[in-house]
Amino acid sequence: METIDLARVAVRDLNRRLQMREGDNGETEFSVLNPGGAHALAAGLTHPINVTIDGHTGYYCAGMNQEANVTVVGNAGTGVAENMMSGVVRVKGDVSQSAGATAHGGMLVIEGDASARCGISLKGADIVVQGSVGHMAAFMAQAGRLVVLGDVGADLGDSLYEAQIFVCGTVASLGADCVEKEMKSTHKSELEALLASAGVDTDASGFRRYGSARQLYNFNIDNAGSY
Cα separation, 224 vs 94, whole angstroms: 37
Instruction: End-to-end CA distance of the chain: give it in Å, rounded.
Output: 51
Q: Classify residue 12: in a domain, yes or no.
A: no
- Structural domain including 86 reads 36-226
Asked whether 35 and 53 are in contact (CB, 8 A), the reply is yes
With respect to residue 18, please indicate whether it lies within any of the assigned structural domains: no
**Strands in 38-148 per DSSP E:** 50-54, 69-72, 88-91, 107-110, 123-129, 143-148
CA distances from 99 to 18, 119, 142, 150, 168 (A): 22, 6, 15, 16, 19
**Over the stretch 55-79, which tens digit does the pLDDT of each residue have?**
999 999 999 999 999 999 999 999 9
The verdict on residue 160 lying in a domain is yes
For residue range 13-32, list pLDDT tens digits in order. 999 999 986 545 678 999 99
In angstroms and rounded to an integer, the radius of gyration of the C-alpha atoms of the chain is 18
CATH code of the domain containing 121: 2.160.20.60
| Domains: count for the chain | 1
- Cα torsion through 71, 104, 144, 75, rounded to 10: 30
Residues 6 or more apart in contact with residue 1 via CB below 8 angstroms: 27, 29, 30, 31
Distance CA 149, CA 109 (A): 12
Helix, strand, or coil (residue 122): coil
Question: Could you tell me the pTM of the whole model?
Answer: 0.93
Q: Could you list the pLDDT tens digit for every one of the 227 residues in the chain?
A: 999 999 999 999 999 999 986 545 678 999 999 999 999 999 999 999 999 999 999 999 999 999 999 999 999 999 999 999 999 999 999 999 999 999 999 999 999 999 999 999 999 999 999 999 999 999 999 999 999 999 999 999 999 999 999 999 999 999 999 999 999 999 999 999 999 999 999 999 999 999 999 887 666 666 666 65
In a domain, 26, yes or no: no
Closest CA to 39 of 66, 64, 19, 12: 12
Residue 200 located in a structural domain? yes
Distance CA 164, CA 157 (A): 9
Q: Residue 23: inside a domain, yes or no? A: no
170: exposed, middle or buried (Cβ count in 10 Å: 0-12, 13-18, 19+): exposed
Q: Establish if 46 belongs to a structural domain.
A: yes
DSSP 21-57: -SSS----EEEEE--TT-SSTTTT--S--EEEEES-B
d(CA 67, CA 50): 9
Please report whether residue 7 resides in a domain.
no
